[in-house]
């Protein structure tokens, strides 16, 4: 009875604005905890999207992420469908006990930086952020993407002209790299994150600091969902 109740909770409607990431977290956590055991078949896409209350395109993005991460396998044909893999990945390590505190610190540092960067940032700083976004779009190893990602967020802090904020951003990005190292890095997640980078820079250029902070807050919440869904138990 308790297991059935927990499984029903997995398929409750997902809330915006992190529908993609929260769907990944829900399904990834259900797989890791055994609520969706190896070999189990997910409901058809139409039914699953209705249960989550999300668009089928968003559901497909989440399912693709879990396939790329090794949690699900998609089979075609009359007996096809989306299934939990026989041996879902365990990951390369475990998250530290204070990982959510690291993320909370990141929210405070980055959202504050966004507000100030919109007020003080120069066209040159925003141009550097654009260049990093282009580099993150290019195909290649995750290490290259991550180096550009770190540089993007540090450039955000540099645009404020506040040295202490740059130091705080550098520290939290180092801690984030350690957290991210224990999870897979599916392309769908990286593409989604880089689209949000574009939205952030657009808001900064318009001088809309609070809008940039809202986009960034959703961006960081999405990261938390992805880590929670894909990190080893």
Name the H helices within the chain.
2-10, 19-32, 45-52, 56-68, 99-120, 123-137, 142-158, 163-180, 187-205, 209-230
CATH class held by domain 2-84 = mainly alpha
CATH 1.20.120.530 in the chain is located at 99-230
DSSP string, 165-177: HHHHHHHHHHHHH
| N residues, the chain | 233
User: Residue 21 and residue 25: Cα distance in Å, rounded?
Assistant: 6
Mean residue pLDDT of the chain comes to 91
Write the pLDDT tens digit of every residue in 181-193: 889 899 999 999 9
Angstrom distance (rounded) from CA 187 to CA 160: 31
pLDDT digits (tens, 9 = 90+) for 146-192: 999 999 999 999 999 999 999 999 999 999 998 998 898 999 999 99
pLDDT at 209 over 90: yes
Residue-level pLDDT at 222: 94
Chain region(s) in the chain for CATH 1.10.10.10? 2-84
CA distance 39 to 92: 23
Q: Which CATH architecture has domain 99-230?
A: Up-down Bundle (1.20)
């Amino acid at each position: 009875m308790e297991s059935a109740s927990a499984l029903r909770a997995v398929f409750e409607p997902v809330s915006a604005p992190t529908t993609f990431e929260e769907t990944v977290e829900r399904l990834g956590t259900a797989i890791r905890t055994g609520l969706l055991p190896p070999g189990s078949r997910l409901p058809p896409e139409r039914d699953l999207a209705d249960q989550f209350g999300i668009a089928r395109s968003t559901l497909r993005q989440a399912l693709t992420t879990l396939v790329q991460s090794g949690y699900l396998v998609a089979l075609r044909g009359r007996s096809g469908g989306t299934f939990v893999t026989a041996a879902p990945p365990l990951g390369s390590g475990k998250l530290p006990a204070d990982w959510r505190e690291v993320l909370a610190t990141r929210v405070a540092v980055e959202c504050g930086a966004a507000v100030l960067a919109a007020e003080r940032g120069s066209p040159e700083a925003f141009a550097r952020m654009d260049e990093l976004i282009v580099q993150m779009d290019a195909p290649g190893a995750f290490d290259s993407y991550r180096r550009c990602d770190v540089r993007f967020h540090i450039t955000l802090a540099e645009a404020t002209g506040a040295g202490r904020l740059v130091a705080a951003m550098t520290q939290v990005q180092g801690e984030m790299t350690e957290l991210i190292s224990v999870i897979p890095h599916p392309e769908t997640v990286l593409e989604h994150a880089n689209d949000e980078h574009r939205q952030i820079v657009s808001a900064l250029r318009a001088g809309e600091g609070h809008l940039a902070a809202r986009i960034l807050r959703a961006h960081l919440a999405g990261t938390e969902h992805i880590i929670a869904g894909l990190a080893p138990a």
